[in-house]
């Protein structure tokens, strides 16, 4: 279970507040969607959960299964089960995707006090995962994300999530830049990972993705706060009416 209480965040120099007392709870097995206008702080929330340096947490707490994430290094949070599928995945030239996957997987296993995977075992997992997402084998030999299309990068994020088996998967605008076929493949990849123990935080600007990854709850974010919470039907309402209401409300 992920619990975020009264979270206040500014950018590092402290001049600009981005999150203003955000509250959000995601139960085990729940798929929560966050929707909101551009600039409302959705990516910031995902970065703060994952532990990016650029932000200053002024107040509040983030607990994963009761553990205080804010006191942990980013790699420790990853080992504890936080996975962030980036809105803009980074390129690591010269590091074969396969090499990166293995390094990451074994680092996390080590972080949890587990044994490293044997190479055949690892290769098998990658092969199965890649096939499901339509990722060709030779892409795994190329430098991570180097020269990948937007859609390929997003698929690679999902492959990483599948291998790393997090307890909470955060998807930051994974649908952006995907055509409908890719959207389906990626959504199927995510749906296959849904389980009673694993929760998801699906960040999106558009309702479309939620046709494929059907959420349990939908939260509307504006000006760094959750301003409304409902079921999956809330997404349709937003799609029909836009965010205009929330932008003015929150500003008022």
Partner 1 sequence: MVAVKETVEQVKQLDVDQYKYGFSTELEVEKAPKGLSEDIVRFISMKKGEPSWMLDWRLDAFRRWKTMDEPQWARVHYPKIDFNDSYYYAAPKKNAAPKTLDDVDPAILETYKKLGIPLREQELLAGVQTSKIAVDAVFDSVSVVTTFKEELKKAGVIFCSISEAIKDHPDLVKKYLGSVVPVTDNYYATLNCAVFTDGSFVYIPEGTRCPMELSTYFRINEKNTGQFERTLIIAEKGSYVSYLEGCTAPQRDENQLHAAVVELVALDDAEIKYSTVQNWYPGDADGKGGIYNFVTKRGDCRGANSKISWTQVETGSAITWKYPSCILRGDNSRGEFYSIAVSNGYQQVDSGTKMIHLGKNTSSRIISKGISAGHSQNTYRGQVSAHRKATNARNFTNCDSLLIGETCGAHTVPYLESKNASAVFEHEATTSKISEDQLFYCRQRGLSAEEATALIVNGFVKDVLQQLPMEFAVEAQKLISISLEGSVG
Write out the residues near Mg ion by the rule CB under 5 A: 42-43
Q: If binding is defined by CB under 8 A, does position 62 make contact with partner 1?
A: no
Closest separation between CB of residue 35 and Mg ion, Å? Answer: 12
What's the rounded Cα separation, in Å, for the pair 104 and 154?
Answer: 17
8 Å CB contact between 7 and 19: yes
How far CA 195 is from CA of 9, 62, 144, 188, 244, in Å, comes to 31, 22, 28, 13, 35
Residue 26's binding partner, choosing from ligand ADP, Mg ion, partner 1, none, with beta-carbon cut-off 5 to 8 A by kind? none
Note the residues at the interface with ligand ADP (CB under 6 A): 11, 18, 36, 38-44, 54
8 Å CB contact between 32 and 210: no
Q: If binding is defined by CB under 8 A, does position 95 make contact with partner 1?
A: yes
Closest separation between CB of residue 251 and partner 1, Å? Answer: 31
Residue 122's binding partner, choosing from Mg ion, partner 1, ligand ADP, none, with beta-carbon cut-off 5 to 8 A by kind? none
SS (H, E, C) 26-55: ECCCCEEEEECCCCCCHHHHHHHHHCCCCE
Site string for partner 1, 143-162 (x = CB under 8 A): x----------------x--
Closest separation between CB of residue 81 and ligand ADP, Å? Answer: 23
Residues numbered 159 to 218 that lie near partner 1 (CB under 8 A) are 160, 164
8 Å CB contact between 172 and 85: yes
Closest separation between CB of residue 188 and partner 1, Å? Answer: 23
8 Å CB contact between 116 and 110: yes
CA angle 190, 122, 127 (to 5 degrees): 55
- Interface region with partner 1, contact rule CB under 8 A, candidates 73-81, 128-136, 147-155, 186-194: 73-81
Residue 53's binding partner, choosing from partner 1, ligand ADP, Mg ion, none, with beta-carbon cut-off 5 to 8 A by kind? partner 1
84, 126, 130, 182: which one contacts partner 1 (CB under 8 A)?
Answer: 84
Question: What is the CB neighbour count within 10 angstroms for residue 142?
Answer: 16
Measured at CB, which residue is nearest to Mg ion?
43
Closer residue to Mg ion in complex, CB, 145/174:
174
Judge residue 109's burial from the number of C-beta atoms within 10 Å of its C-beta, 0-12 exposed, 13-18 middle, 19 or more buried: middle
How far CA 65 is from CA of 32, 127, 186, 214, in Å, comes to 16, 31, 27, 24
Contact footprint for partner 1 (CB under 8 A): 50-54, 73-75, 77-79, 82-84, 86, 89-96, 99-100, 102-108, 111, 143, 160, 164
């Amino acid at each position: 279970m992920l619990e975020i209480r009264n979270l206040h965040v500014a950018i590092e120099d402290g001049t600009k507040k981005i999150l203003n007392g955000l509250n959000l709870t995601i139960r085990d097995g729940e798929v929560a969607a966050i929707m909101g206008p551009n600039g409302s702080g959705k990516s910031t929330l995902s970065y703060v959960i994952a532990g990016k340096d650029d932000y200053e947490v002024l107040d509040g707490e983030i607990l994963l299964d009761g553990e205080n994430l804010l006191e942990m290094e980013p790699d420790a949070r990853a080992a504890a089960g936080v996975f962030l599928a980036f809105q803009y995945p980074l390129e690591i030239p010269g590091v074969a995707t396969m090499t990166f996957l293995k390094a990451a997987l074994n680092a996390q296993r080590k972080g949890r006090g587990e044994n490293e995977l044997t190479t055949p075992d690892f290769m098998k997992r990658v092969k199965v995962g890649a096939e499901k997402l339509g990722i060709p084998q030779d892409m795994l030999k190329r430098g991570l994300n180097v020269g990948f299309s937007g859609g390929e990068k997003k698929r690679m994020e999902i492959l990483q999530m599948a291998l790393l088996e997090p307890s909470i998967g955060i998807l930051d605008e994974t649908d952006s830049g995907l055509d409908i076929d890719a959207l389906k493949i990626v959504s199927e990849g995510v749906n296959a990972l849904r389980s009673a123990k694993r929760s998801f935080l699906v960040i999106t600007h558009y309702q479309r993705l939620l046709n494929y990854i059907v959420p349990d709850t939908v939260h509307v974010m504006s000006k760094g706060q959750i301003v409304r919470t409902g079921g999956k039907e809330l997404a349709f309402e937003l799609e029909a009416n836009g965010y205009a209401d929330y932008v003015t409300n929150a500003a008022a």
